Amino acid sequence: MPNLAALAALAGIIGLAIAGFFSSPRPYNIIGESWRQSVACLRARPMLFAYAWGLFALQEIMPLLLSYAPWPQAWQLLLILFAIQAGGTYALAHVALRLHRGLILDEWAPGVTWGRRERRMALYVVLVWLAIFALRHVLIPAPPTISEAAFQYLAAAIAFLSFLAKAALVLTGPAASLDDPRPLSRAVRSFLREPVAILLIVLAIGFLGDIANDVLRLFVRPLSASLMFQFALDLVVVSMMAFILFLSEFAIVIALTRIWEDHYEPETRRAAHNFTWS
C-alpha cells in the first residue's frame, strides 16, 4: 500500500505539471521571469542580497554555537532555536517587502526599511509560518500504539495538508506588502481562483530549495575532508538560499498580480515583468 500511495503522489505531480501549461497565470513563465528578475536584482542591489545572506548565515551558525552551551533542559534549547527561526522569518519578511514593492511599484530602497507597513507585513508572514509549523508538527501516535502502515499514512496525510496550507497562504506576504486590507483572505481566494498555478509554483520553489540544501550537503560535502572546502560549500549553500528567497518572493508577487489583474498595478499586462505573459 505505501508503494501505491507513492505512485499516486507521482501521478498527481505529473498531472499538476501538465495542467500548469494550461493555467492562465502561466506558472512556468512566472518562474522563468522570477529567475531573470533575481539575477538583475542581485546585480543592481547587492546590499539587499547581502542582508538576506547574513540572516541565513546567522540562522545556520546559531544552532551550532548554542550546542556548545550547557543547557539544564533540552526544551530550553528547542525554545531558543524556535525563537531564532521565528525572528529570522520576521527579519527576512522585510527583505521580501522591498522585493515586492520594488518589482510591482518600483519602490526600491538602498536597503531594508523598517516602518508600520513593514511590521504589519512581517507579522502576517510570521503568523502564516506559525500556522504551517503547527500543522507540520501535529503529534500522532507512534508504533506500536498503531500499526506501521497507519503511522506512515497519517504522516503522509499531515505532510500533504501542510503543503496545501502553505499553498493556500503563501500569497499572504505579497498581499500585505501591497497594502491589501485583508491579506489572509486575499491569499485563500487567490488559491481558490488558481490552485494549479500556485501549487506548481510552491512545488517548484520547494524542489529548488531541496537541491540547494540537501543535494550539496549530502553529496558534495563527502568529496573532501578539507575544512576549507566544507566552509566554502557552506558559503555556497547560504548564497543559494538567499537567491531562492529572491526567486520565490518575485514569483509569488507576480502570481498575485496576475491572478488579480489590474488590481495592484494600473495595467498588469503592460508591466515590464509581464511583457511575455499572454
Quick: pLDDT tens for 47-64.
Answer: 999 999 999 999 888 877
What does the pLDDT read at residue 210? 73
Mean pLDDT, residues 111-137 taken together = 94
In percent, how much of the chain has pLDDT > 90? 55
Whole-angstrom distance, CA of residue 58 vs CA of residue 197: 33
Q: Tell me what the pLDDT averaged over the chain comes to.
A: 87
Q: Is the pLDDT of residue 1 over 60?
A: no
What does the pLDDT read at residue 142? 76
5 three-state secondary structure: helix
Residue 233: which residues within 8 A CB-CB, separation 6 or more?
216, 217, 220, 221
What does the pLDDT read at residue 229? 75
What does the pLDDT read at residue 278? 72
CA dihedral 41, 47, 50, 55 (to 10 degrees): -110
What does the pLDDT read at residue 182? 97
Helices assigned H by DSSP within 23-73: 27-44, 46-67
Quick: pLDDT tens for 226-253.
Answer: 778 777 888 888 899 999 999 999 999 9
Cα maximum dimension of the chain: 60
Q: Is the pLDDT of residue 23 over 90?
A: no
E strands, 43-123, in order: none
pTM exceeds 0.85: yes
What does the pLDDT read at residue 29? 94
Confidence of residue 12 (pLDDT cuts 50, 70, 90): confident
Quick: pLDDT tens for 71-123.
Answer: 667 777 788 888 999 999 999 999 999 999 999 999 998 788 889 999 999 99
Confidence of residue 224 (pLDDT cuts 50, 70, 90): low
* Residue appearing with cell numbers 537567491: 243
Whole-angstrom distance, CA of residue 270 vs CA of residue 262: 10
Q: Is the pLDDT of residue 68 over 80?
A: no
Q: Is the pLDDT of residue 2 over 60?
A: no
What does the pLDDT read at residue 7? 73
Whole-angstrom distance, CA of residue 213 vs CA of residue 215: 6
